[in-house]
Amino acid sequence: MQSYQNLIGGEWIAAASGKTFSTTNPADTRETVATYPHSAQADAQAAIAAAKAAFAGWAAQTAPARGRILSKASQILESRKADLAKLLTREEGKTLAEATGEVQRSADILRFFGGLSYTLGGQTIPHDLPGNLLLTRREPIGVVGLITPWNFPIAIPVWKLAPALLCGNTVVIKPASQAPAMTFEVAKALIEAGLPKGVLNVVTGDGRSVGGELATNPDIIALSFTGSYKIGHGIYQQLAQRMARAQMEMGSKNPTIVLADGDLDLAARLVAIAAFGLTGQACTATSRVIVERSVLPAFTEKLIEKMKAIKVGNGLADGVTMGPSVNAQEFQGNFDYIDIAVKEGAKLLWGGAKLTDGDLAHGYFMQPTLLGDVTPTMRIAQEEVFGPVCVLIAVDSFDEALKVANGVDVGLSASLITRDFKKAMVYSEKIECGVVKVNQISTGLALQAPFGGLKKSSTDGFKEQGAGAVEFYSRLKTVYFDYSA
């Protein structure tokens, strides 16, 4: 069992209260994975003060100097990939292959922003008059707060931290209590790579007190949050009071549309990955499959074949392709939604049962689950179920499919399976989502491309990931020089 301390001002320290909490392995709740400080407001305040004190020195470094530290941290993470992936699987539950991919992704993100450091800057703009120079300077904004969820416990902290640090800001991060280990491991790698004291501060503890302090403390100039709509909406209200910069990335109800002209084998393969990979615990997971009625029986049969081949179990075991739900609450939530759907008239087509054979009895294991006869207004078709539960909605045309796909109040990712180029283009124009895929899984993102949602999935002011991620973490100052006289 590991034991972590808060990182404040470059020191590893316990919560002022001395209280701790621990995480357990969702695949085997008999195992305690790690212990952490159960911090309160005072600890968060100390972290914010440390970040404030470190700001001037870090901001004064050049972007390439800061980038060099990110690149070196990337190498350190990559060299520890196997161990970190195992720890990630033990704390969050995803399969070792998924965890390994996520650690590699995090190393790649650090490498990307390390390289980007050579291009970070403003722009020269033609002036109306001769003998004049007009330009913008890109500057850091100050102390930034980051609040992250448990489902990508290393990738999400890193995709916020890397641009925040690159731009010259100092940071206080509060990882999700369910899986904080990876944030500390990233902090260790950054410190070993040469990050000065106080530039990055990590505080664990209850969301309401530690996260609440980040949301309300006037020294936090900007806050980037990823998590549920309920919490994100609340934090946004707190930030609005002092007009702090806000980036809220939240949940969704992502569709995959399967058209009659599409390759049904491909559709079944992609939906099986997008709906049940990562145990369905991805913000971009497919949870609604909208299928043209003429191919519904054939598609359903193919999808169920794929589902039968999914091997559920401890993510560390050989051959396992789907791990457990992350905790008792999410686990129970999946079954609650299945019950609600069946009561509303949906038909359970496959799965829906807890798995309790042998060691599985000690974890949050369930079958991947498919519901049919679902109509667009049922709760199961409208509300996020953060687990391996997917529904089929039959439609009679492409237009109806688009209408159903857009008929929710969220919009993060959407996929379409078709061979019809025109329909694919129309769909990419009309779908109300931040990420649009054709003949691809709704999950899976290119780290070099912008990412973010629409509607209630995002505040939609700034994108994450890609080179544009620096916009949230920097400001432009416009400079006029007159050398004509």
Cβ-based nearer residue to ligand NAP, 171 or 291 = 171
Minimal distance in Å, beta carbon 102 to ligand NAP? Answer: 12
Q: Specify whether 283 is catalytic.
A: yes
Strand partners, 226: 249
The reply on whether position 148 binds ligand NAP by CB under 6 A is yes
Minimal distance in Å, beta carbon 39 to ligand NAP? Answer: 10
Write out the binding residues for ligand NAP, residues 377-416 only, by CB under 6 A.
384, 386, 412
Contact between residue 112 and residue 448 where contact means Cβ atoms under 8 Å apart: yes
Q: In residues, how long is the chain?
A: 485
Minimal distance in Å, beta carbon 265 to ligand NAP? Answer: 29
Minimal distance in Å, beta carbon 157 to ligand NAP? Answer: 10
Write out the binding residues for ligand NAP, residues 174-193 only, by CB under 6 A.
174, 176-178
Residue 301 identity = E
**How far apart are the C-alpha atoms of 372 and 84, rounded to whole Å?**
39
Residue 202, φ and ψ in degrees, nearest 5: -120, 125
Cβ-based nearer residue to ligand NAP, 102 or 292 = 102
**How far apart are the C-alpha atoms of 347 and 338, rounded to whole Å?**
10
The reply on whether position 37 binds ligand NAP by CB under 6 A is no
**How far apart are the C-alpha atoms of 323 and 310, rounded to whole Å?**
10
The reply on whether position 142 binds ligand NAP by CB under 6 A is no
Number of residues that bind ligand NAP (CB under 6 A): 31
Binding track over 344-363 against ligand NAP, x by CB under 6 A: --------------------
Cβ-based nearer residue to ligand NAP, 262 or 453 = 453
Minimal distance in Å, beta carbon 474 to ligand NAP? Answer: 21
Cβ-based nearer residue to ligand NAP, 220 or 291 = 220
Binding track over 49-88 against ligand NAP, x by CB under 6 A: ----------------------------------------
Find, among 350, 400, 409, the residue nearest to 375 by Cα.
400
Find, among 172, 77, 59, 76, the residue nearest to 120 by Cα.
59
Cβ-based nearer residue to ligand NAP, 178 or 201 = 178
DSSP H or E segment with residue 415: strand 413-417
How far from chain centre, in Å, is Cα 467? Answer: 17
Among the listed residues 453, 463, 469, 474, the single contact to ligand NAP using CB under 6 A: 453
**How far apart are the C-alpha atoms of 416 and 378, rounded to whole Å?**
22
Other CB atoms within 10 A of residue 461 CB? 12
Task: Determine the 3-state secondary structure of 21 from DSSP.
Answer: strand
Contact between residue 224 and residue 195 where contact means Cβ atoms under 8 Å apart: no
Minimal distance in Å, beta carbon 30 to ligand NAP? Answer: 22
Find, among 255, 276, 306, the residue nearest to 427 by Cα.
255
How far from chain centre, in Å, is Cα 345? Answer: 33
Which one of the spans 22-30, 84-92, 141-149, 354-362 is the region binding ligand NAP (CB under 6 A)?
141-149
Among the listed residues 36, 55, 113, 150, the single contact to ligand NAP using CB under 6 A: 150
Burial class (CB in 10 A: 0-12, 13-18, 19+), 118: exposed
Cβ-based nearer residue to ligand NAP, 208 or 343 = 208
**How far apart are the C-alpha atoms of 60 and 71, rounded to whole Å?**
19
Write out the binding residues for ligand NAP, residues 207-266 only, by CB under 6 A.
207-208, 211-212, 215, 226-228, 231, 234-235, 249-251
Contact between residue 109 and residue 445 where contact means Cβ atoms under 8 Å apart: no
Minimal distance in Å, beta carbon 220 to ligand NAP? Answer: 11
Active-site amino acid positions: 283
Which residues form the interface with ligand NAP (CB under 6 A)?
147-152, 174, 176-178, 206-208, 211-212, 215, 226-228, 231, 234-235, 249-251, 283, 384, 386, 412, 453, 457
